[in-house]
């Protein structure tokens, strides 16, 4: 039931016609059960079909609809309009280049994700006939939380270090590397450490913790990064020690 | 990509952060109590002096002071960077140098006790 209308201020940008982004205001009905994504869909269908934004699942699984809502990075499908005042400002995710309206360029994140090899690298390849790689519930529990990442890039938008140092590998990529490092079936940690323990890797993190506060899936990337730092520090001292002992 | 040598400064920083989180609030409380004239029985000057005379206590005091100083220096370095001061090498040199001076000073005091 519509009880009132609400103002939505959206940052618009069309690289073909606009020299810079500008704000456009829309008046949308307020429904108690509506999220910001519903309001955007209402605009697209009824007011302005030229509005561009990404979305797919509408249930915080696909990770497509990350955007700045009143200055904070959020999933539009998880942000209820009833939790805001009469004016909601919607912008593309911070720290990423705008492609068009609320659509941002993901190339940097995707290439970083590929660099940390976020997939199982078995210790030893075995033929299919030998059966599956088995895992106990306790072994699953070690990494399960870090496997909940939906690549929505909200942690990159929240991270002030990524804003300052664009070459920083960033929260989600390092957390996913950690997820596979913790997997009992995996043997690829050494390969991932080449990126993760480099100057552009985990050491750019100063433990601000904004990533974990913003993460819509409660992955706690900041916690993962601190564990990676401890493990990398132990590695470093071990390597030094073994080179002295030679 | 080459692995970073950051662990050499981060290791003592992490250790210092842990020590600071546990020990510093207690030390502040005790110092404030002493400053207000309520010195707990076990913490009289003579008692503390006797405690600090033992080599094991000296080691513990040195570790607490040095790690806390290093932790603060490293945190200050990150803070400067976050506030937009990008001369990281110079800032790192200054803050770590100050922490080392503090560590050496505590070493001297402990030696003289």
Domain ranges of chain B: 23-53, 54-113
> Is any Cβ of chain A less than 8 angstroms from the Cβ of B11?
yes
Task: Say how far apart CA A23 and CA B15 lie, in whole Å.
Answer: 48
Tell me the CA distances in angstroms from A64 to A61, A80, A93, A130, A156, one per residue in order: 9, 17, 11, 39, 14
pLDDT at B83: 84
* Residue of A141 and A124 predicted with greater confidence: A141
Lowest mean pLDDT among A15-24, A159-168, B23-32: B23-32
How high is the pLDDT of residue A181?
A: 97
Closest CA to A85 of A22, A26, A30: A30
Distance, first Cα to last Cα, chain B: 49
Query: Confidence band (pLDDT; 50, 70, 90) for A1?
Result: low
CATH of domain A2-104: 3.10.20.30
Give the nearest partner residue to A206 out of B5, B7, B82, using CB atoms.
Answer: B82
- Kindly list the residues from chain B whose CB atom is less than 8 angstroms away from the CB atom of residue A193: 3
Q: Which residues of B touch A232 (CB under 8 A)?
A: 3, 7
Across the interface, do B82 and A194 touch by the CB < 8 Å criterion?
no
The average confidence (pLDDT) of chain A is 95
DSSP state, A184? Answer: T
Could you report the per-residue pLDDT of A174-205, keeping only the tens digit for each? 999 999 999 999 999 999 999 999 999 999 99
User: For residue A229, what are the CA distances in angstroms to A66, B6, B27, B34?
Assistant: 28, 10, 28, 39
Is A203's CB within 8 Å of B11's CB? no
**pLDDT tens column, A59-75:** 999 999 999 999 999 99
Give the three-state DSSP class for A9: strand
pLDDT attached to residue A42: 97
DSSP SS3 for A100: strand
pLDDT of the residue at B34: 84
Output phi, psi for B70, to 5 deg: -65, -40
Which residue of B2, B5, B6, B17 is the best one to mutate when testing the A interface, meaning the one whose CB has the most A CBs within 10 A?
Answer: B6
CATH tag, A107-245:
1.10.1060.10
Contact B7 A199 (CB under 8 A): no
pLDDT at A3 (0 to 100):
66
A-chain CB neighbours of B5 within 8 Å are 236
Boundaries of CATH 3.10.20.30 in chain A?
2-104
- Average pLDDT on A21-44 reads 96
> CA-to-CA distance for A155 and A215, rounded, in angstroms?
6
Q: Across the interface, do A203 and B10 touch by the CB < 8 Å criterion?
A: yes
The pLDDT of residue B45: 84
Size of interface A-B (CB pairs under 8 A): 45
> Could you give the CA distance from residue A189 to residue A179 in angstroms, rounded to a whole number?
10
Please tell me which of the candidates B3, B10, B78 has its beta carbon nearest to residue A229. B10
What is residue A124's predicted lDDT score, i.e. its pLDDT? Answer: 85
Q: What's the rounded mean pLDDT across residues A72-88?
A: 96
Q: A176 near A118, Cβ under 8 Å?
A: yes
The closest alpha carbon to B78, from A81, A204, A199, belongs to A204
Q: Do B6 and A203 touch (CB under 8 A)?
A: yes
Give the range with max mean pLDDT: A123-127, A213-217, B40-44. A213-217
Residue A139 clears pLDDT 90, i.e. is over it:
yes
Residue extent(s) of CATH 1.10.1060.10 domains in chain A: 107-245
DSSP 8-state assignment for residue A129? G
- Give A229's contacts in chain B (Cβ within 8 Å): 10, 14
* ipTM at complex level: 0.77
A206 to chain B, any CB pair closer than 8 A? The answer is yes
């Amino acid at each position: 039931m519509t009880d009132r209308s609400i103002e939505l201020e959206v940052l618009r940008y069309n690289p073909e016609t606009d020299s810079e982004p500008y704000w456009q205001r829309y008046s949308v009905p307020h429904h108690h059960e509506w999220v910001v994504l519903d309001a955007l869909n209402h605009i697209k269908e009824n007011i302005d079909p030229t509005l561009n934004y990404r979305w797919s699942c509408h249930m915080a699984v696909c990770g497509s609809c990350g955007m700045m809502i009143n200055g904070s990075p959020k999933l539009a499908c998880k942000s209820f309009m009833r939790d805001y005042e009469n004016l909601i400002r919607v912008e593309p995710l911070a720290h990423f280049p705008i492609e068009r309206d609320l659509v941002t360029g993901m190339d940097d994140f995707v290439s970083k994700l590929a660099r940390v090899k976020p997939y199982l690298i078995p210790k030893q390849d075995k033929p299919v006939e030998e059966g599956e790689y088995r895992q106990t519930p306790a072994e699953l529990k070690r990494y399960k939380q870090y496997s909940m990442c939906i690549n929505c890039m909200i942690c990159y938008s929240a991270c002030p270090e990524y804003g300052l140092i664009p070459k920083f590998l960033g929260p989600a990529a390092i957390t996913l590397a950690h997820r596979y490092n913790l997997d009992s079936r995996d043997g690829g940690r050494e390969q991932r450490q080449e990126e993760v323990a480099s100057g552009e890797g985990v050491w750019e993190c100063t433990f601000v913790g904004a990533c974990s506060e913003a993460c819509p899936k409660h992955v706690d990337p900041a916690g993962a990064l601190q564990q990676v730092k401890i493990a990398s520090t132990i590695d470093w001292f071990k390597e030094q020690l073994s080179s002295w002992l030679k | 990509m080459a692995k970073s040598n950051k662990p050499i400064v981060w290791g003592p920083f992490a250790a210092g952060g842990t020590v600071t989180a546990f020990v510093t609030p207690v030390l502040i409380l005790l110092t404030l109590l002493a400053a207000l004239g309520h010195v707990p029985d076990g913490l009289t000057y003579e008692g503390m002096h006797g405690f600090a005379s033992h080599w094991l206590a000296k080691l513990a005091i040195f570790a607490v002071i040095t790690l806390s100083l290093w932790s603060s220096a490293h945190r200050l370095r990150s803070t400067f960077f976050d506030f937009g001061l990008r001369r990281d090498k110079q800032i790192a040199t200054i803050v770590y140098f100050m922490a080392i001076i503090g560590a050496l000073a505590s070493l001297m005091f402990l030696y003289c006790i």
